[in-house]
Amino acid sequence: MTKTTKTKATTEQETEVRLGRVKFDIKPGEDISADVCYLCGKPATDWPHPTKGTAHGFASITGHPKALLLCQACFDAEGNLHAIARKHFNNPDVEIRYFH
Ligand SMILES: [Zn+2]
């Protein structure tokens, strides 16, 4: 069995992963300890956004009810969509097609 065959068999479902920025209304002193990056587990804090002041980064996966927070490093990282999909499907062989 080839690697490709295995990939197709385990990820028949097609899903879209998108990255976005969102501004949260976090009040001073609010507990944000649960706001950790989906990929690296480090605190997912906001960073400057061109028009919104600062904003958090997130990934949304079609069919997944929650947006997944990302830290700036992972948001900007090369191959991050692939990493998110691999983690989400718990499948290192997940096949990714990019649409721009
Ligand atoms: Zn991260």
Q: How many angstroms separate the alpha carbon of residue 44 from the centre of ligand 1?
A: 7
The stretch 72-79 carries a mean pLDDT of 95
Q: How many angstroms separate the alpha carbon of residue 100 from the centre of ligand 1?
A: 23
**14-18, 75-79, 85-89: least confidently modelled range:** 14-18
Q: Quickly list DSSP for 49-83.
A: ETTTEEEEEEEEETT-SS-EEE-HHHHHSTTHHHH
Instruction: Check pLDDT > 80 for residue 1.
Output: no
Give residue 56's identity as a one-letter amino acid code.
H
Q: How many angstroms separate the alpha carbon of residue 2 from the centre of ligand 1?
A: 32
Beta-bridged to residue 47, according to DSSP, are 55
What is the token pair recorded at 18?
């998108």
Q: How many angstroms separate the alpha carbon of residue 45 from the centre of ligand 1?
A: 10
Element (H, E) at 22: strand 17-22
Q: How many angstroms separate the alpha carbon of residue 63 from the centre of ligand 1?
A: 22
Task: Quote the pTM value.
Answer: 0.79
pLDDT value at residue 100: 60
